[in-house]
Each structure stands twice: as C-alpha cells, then as structure tokens.
C-alpha cells in the first residue's frame, strides 16, 4: 500500500492552519506547515512533498517569490496558491510563475479537496509520461551509439581513432570510418544544427546517405557531399542544416582527398611542424548542407607523409568553455597534438579528451564534441 501523500501548508493564519491541517489529516494526508515564506521555501526546496498549498500574503517572502524560487531550482512539486486576493492579474502571475492551480479565499472544503486530488493525479500522470519519455530517450541513445563505428577497417599506413560526446544523451554530431573499396578509408565528421531528438534523427539520415553513396562514388568526395546536400535539403526546412567534412584516404599512396561543407577547419600537422603556425588548414569549401538545393562538388587532394597527423573535429571541441567563459580553442588542440605526436592515435584521442575535461572543469557541456585524429605511418 503506498504511503499517504505529504502536503506542505505555507500559511500564516493560525486558525486556517489548524482547520486545514485537521481537514487534510481526516482525508489521509500527512501535513507539515510553515508560518512564513522563508521557512516554507526552506522546507519546500528539499523536494520531499507531494503537494504544496501556498498563501500569497506571507511574512518574510511572499508566495510569488516562493513559487518562482522553487521552479528556478527545478522543484516540480504541484503548487496550489491560496489567497484572499482574487484579482485576475494575481492569478495570472501565480500561474505564470509555475503554480498548478489557484483558489481564492473563502473556499469550500469540498472544492479544495477536489483541486488537491486533481493536482496530485496530474502530477502522477506527468511522472508516468516523463518516465516513458526517459526510457525512449535512453533507447534512442543506444541506437545512436550503434551508428558510430563499432570496428576500424585495417590500414597499413594510417593509425586512427575518434570519439563523440553528446551534450545531451542524444545529439546531432556524428563521425564514421568505412572502407568503400579495398585500400581506401573514408573519414567523416558531421554536425547537425541543434541538439536532442530532432538533430539525432537528421544525423541518422546523413549516416544512411553516406553509407549508400560512398561505395558507389568512391574517391569523388565532392559528389558524395553533393548527394548528402540534396537529401538533406529535401528532408528539412532551411532552419536546419548540417556541416560535413568528408575525406578518402588511400592506404598505399597516402593520398588524402577531402571536401568540407561549412565545417569547422580541420588541420594537417606535418611531421616537421615546430609550432601551431606550421600546421596546414583545411577550411570549408561550400555552404553547409541543407541550406541550398545545390552546392558545387569541390574537393582538394593532399599527399601525406609518415609522421603527419590529421585532426578533424566539430566546433564543440574548440568552443568548450571553462568557468570564466574561455574557449579551449583550436590552437590549444594543435599544441596537444604537437606535444604528444609520438602517441598512438588512441592515446592522442585520450590525451585531447583529458585536456578538454581539465579545461572545462565543472562547467556543463553545452555542445556535442566529436574528434577524429589520425597518424600517418
């Protein structure tokens, strides 16, 4: 048998407190009371109650301030506001601040009890819906993780690794490794605008498009990006877009052909590079995919040498903020690559992630972070 609902009564009229306490206790509720807004807020902020009955005219802190403060803390306990003031603007303000219901004094016991039952029922239903949504998001996150590379195609002259850390449980960043033909490796980083479920669904559409066209179009990285743009433009409105960096690496010749549609600048760290200034930029060539019905099939080819490093990433990596609002920055990322260039790709990936975490500290992650690093052998 479930425990009786616990009600917090924040009211400064002693007679009304006694009357309501007896009424609610007779209905099976457990009641605790506070005679002022400061004490009431302190008790309510602990989040241990099933319902709060809150007077507006309170000493110390009025009911509006208490309601606003609780919602700012994320306390979702149902609140019924209780007051002798029956003006419409007061009712509207209370509801806008997060109250679930509003009843003016004087009131009948039957009406108050009915409103309490309704508020508790709605909260239970909301909690059930929230639990179902949470389970759906968890399953979606599991599916999204399976879309990321599960195995790494073997290359004789390239050691590579990557990671993707969504800001929420699901996100719009995506990276991939695939071998469309023998001796060739596709490296891909994509970043869909926005976050959450909508971005994740669009990311899945890019995944499907790449997996369809990469084996057919082979080395033509520019045309692969063109096909992804056509699909994305048809599937979305112009408020949604994605940046995309797509490259094909030839294992025997160490040739690297890439296309970049609105994506964060990638970098080639040459084996002889002594500082960040010596690193080769690989900037965007076209607009992001999804903004226009057509984009040109542009690409660039580089010849890589043993000891070179590639760094491909989404903007969430350089834009990662510490508590003062300072960005991690692309230069710092390149400094890490230069300092630890003797590492394996997996080791480099781990070092960079550790450096980012040390930079941000306890600051919440606000954007998805995706990175690919590759060492030419």
Architecture per CATH, 149-376: 4-Layer Sandwich (3.60)
Q: What local confidence, expressed as pLDDT, does residue 136 receive?
A: 64
Please say whether the beta carbons of 372 and 160 come within 8 A: yes
Candidates 335, 228, 331, 338; CA nearest to 287 is 228
Q: What local confidence, expressed as pLDDT, does residue 128 receive?
A: 55
Q: What local confidence, expressed as pLDDT, does residue 204 receive?
A: 83
**With respect to CATH, is domain 6-138 assigned 3.40.30.10?**
no
Mean pLDDT of successive 10-residue stretches along the chain, which has 377 residues: 84 90 90 92 85 89 88 83 67 72 81 86 66 63 72 94 83 88 93 78 85 87 94 82 95 96 96 93 95 95 97 94 90 96 96 94 86 97
Q: What local confidence, expressed as pLDDT, does residue 261 receive?
A: 96
Q: What local confidence, expressed as pLDDT, does residue 227 receive?
A: 94
Q: What local confidence, expressed as pLDDT, does residue 178 receive?
A: 92
Dihedral-angle region of residue 283 (phi above 0 means left; psi in -120 to 50 means alpha; beta otherwise): beta
For CATH 3.40.50.2300, the residue range(s) in the chain are: 6-138
Task: Answer positive or negative: Cα dihedral of 282, 284, 290, 296.
Answer: negative
Q: What local confidence, expressed as pLDDT, does residue 127 receive?
A: 57
Burial of 350 (0-12, 13-18, 19+ CB in 10 A): middle
Please say whether the beta carbons of 106 and 112 come within 8 A: no
For CATH 3.60.40.10, the residue range(s) in the chain are: 149-376
């Amino acid at each position: 048998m479930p425990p009786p609902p616990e009600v917090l009564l924040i009211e400064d009229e002693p007679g009304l407190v006694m009357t309501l306490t007896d009424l609610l206790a007779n209905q099976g509720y457990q009641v605790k009371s506070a005679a002022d807004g400061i004490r009431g807020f302190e008790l309510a902020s602990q989040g241990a109650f099933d319902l709060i009955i809150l007077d507006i005219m309170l000493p110390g802190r009025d009911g509006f301030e208490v309601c606003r403060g609780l919602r700012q803390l994320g306390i979702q306990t149902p609140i019924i506001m209780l007051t002798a003031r029956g003006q419409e603007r007061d009712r509207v303000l209370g509801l806008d601040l997060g109250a679930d219901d509003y009843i003016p004094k004087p009131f009948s016991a039957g009406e108050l009890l009915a409103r309490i039952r309704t508020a508790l029922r709605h909260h239970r239903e909301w909690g059930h819906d929230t639990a179902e949504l949470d389970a759906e998001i968890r399953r979606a996150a599991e599916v999204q993780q399976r879309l990321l590379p599960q195995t790494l195609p073997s290359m004789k002259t390239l050691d590579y690794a990557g990671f993707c850390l969504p800001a929420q449980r699901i996100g719009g960043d995506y990276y991939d490794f695939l071998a469309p033909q023998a001796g060739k490796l596709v490296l891909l980083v994509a970043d869909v605008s926005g976050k959450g479920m909508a971005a994740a669904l669009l990311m899945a559409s890019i995944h499907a498009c790449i997996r369809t066209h990469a084996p057919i179009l082979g080395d033509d990285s520019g045309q692969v990006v063109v096909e992804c743009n056509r699909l994305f433009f048809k599937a979305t409105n112009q408020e949604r877009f994605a940046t995309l960096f797509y490259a094909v690496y030839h294992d025997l010749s160490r040739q690297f052909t890439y296309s970049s549609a609105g994506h964060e600048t990638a970098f080639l760290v040459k084996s002889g590079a002594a500082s960040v200034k010596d690193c080769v930029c690989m900037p965007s060539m076209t607009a992001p995919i999804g903004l226009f019905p057509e984009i040109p099939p542009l690409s660039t080819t580089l010849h890589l040498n043993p000891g070179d490093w590639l760094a491909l990433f989404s903007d969430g990596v350089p834009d990662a903020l510490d508590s003062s609002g300072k960005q991690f920055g692309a230069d710092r990322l390149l400094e890490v690559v230069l300092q630890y260039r003797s590492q394996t790709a997996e080791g480099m990936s781990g070092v960079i992630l550790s450096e980012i975490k040390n930079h941000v500290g306890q600051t919440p992650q606000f954007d998805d972070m995706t990175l690919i690093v590759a060492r030419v052998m």
